Amino acid sequence: MRTTILDIQKMKDRGERIPVITAYDYTSAQIADRAGVPMILVGDSLGMVVLGYSSTVPVTLDEMLHHTRAVVRGSQQSLVIGDLPFLTYASVAQAVASAGRMMQETGAQAVKLEGGAAVAPIIARLVELGIPVMGHIGFTPQSVNQIGTRVQGRQAEAAARMIADSMAIEAAGAFGIVLELIPAELAAAITARLRIPTIGIGAGVGCAGQVQVWHDLLGLYSDFAPRHAKRYASLADQIGAAVTAYASEVRDGTFPGVEHSATMPEDALRAALSPGAIGSRE
């Protein structure tokens, strides 16, 4: 049985911190699911960490659908959230169409979208139609061309606006809200005011849960480590060493070994190679 948004709210109400991780394919979803992570986010960070774009702006709905389907196939227990990419929820009608495709064509159980009070009417309509929605405020990567990449809400006015945004999103019916790159004190204050869980990334320990990007957590880059991410492994180095060893063994003929190869009876080979047998099918 998959985790539901009701289970997530119960976790929050019991004071259990909620781990969330991003995943973008079948194999990583299977690993996250078996590790007991209750929510997997198929984030549009896909664009940067998997597809090699310089921001999340170019990510299309079709790309998100393709990867979300794989994550749903790879998971059995985790609640899967499909991110709605840039300009796929610019009006209520467009949001209904995009979120509808995400739910119907992928099997995801929820969608996520970025924005404050301005997107509350969109959230309200999706929720009314039976689509669970997670909000996302603070640093919102789809607005990178307007706000840059920096901590949001350090000044009183911006912090107060963010509190108001979080309350509007909760009032619209969202089941949770991502707080990205905001001061820890502000995240704790928002968390204390909301009934729904806050899920932080670069927002301190005072959130109801945390989300991390798969590649950051596993050290899948050798040269990039965002400050808000903790590396629990250095897989880029390990994978690099494994691929180098493989290439070297192919070059020197030690791979494949007999244990990786199939054999056939000697007389069958001899018969197959006899001149009569080779020409007989032509």
Catalytic positions are: 180
Stretch in the footprint of ligand KIV (CB under 6 A) among 11-19, 40-48, 229-237, 272-280: 40-48
Q: Please state, in angstroms and as integers, the Cα–Cα distance from residue 251 to each residue in 94, 215, 244, 254, 255, following that order.
A: 54, 30, 11, 8, 8
Q: Is 74 in the site for ligand KIV (CB under 6 A)?
A: no
Q: Does 83 bind ligand KIV (CB under 6 A)?
A: yes
Note whether 43 binds ligand KIV by CB under 6 A: yes
> DSSP of 16-52, one letter per residue?
--EEEEE--SHHHHHHHHHTT-SEEEE-TTHHHHTS-
Distance of closest approach, residue 207 Cβ to ligand KIV, in angstroms: 12
Three-state SS sequence of 58-127: CCCHHHHHHHHHHHHHHCCCCEEEEECCCCCCCCHHHHHHHHHHHHHHHCCCEEECCECHHHHHHHHHHH
What sign does the CA torsion over 19, 137, 172, 40 have?
Answer: negative
How many residues sit in the footprint of ligand KIV (CB under 6 A)? 12
Q: Out of 135, 213, 216, 218, name the contact with ligand KIV by CB under 6 A.
A: 213
Candidates 1-9, 38-46, 72-80, 88-96; binding stretch for ligand KIV (CB under 6 A): 38-46
Q: Which residue, 227 or 281, has its beta carbon nearer to ligand KIV?
A: 227
Residue 120 binds ligand KIV (CB under 6 A) = no
Question: Is 44 among the residues that bind ligand KIV (CB under 6 A)?
Answer: yes
178 binds ligand KIV (CB under 6 A): yes
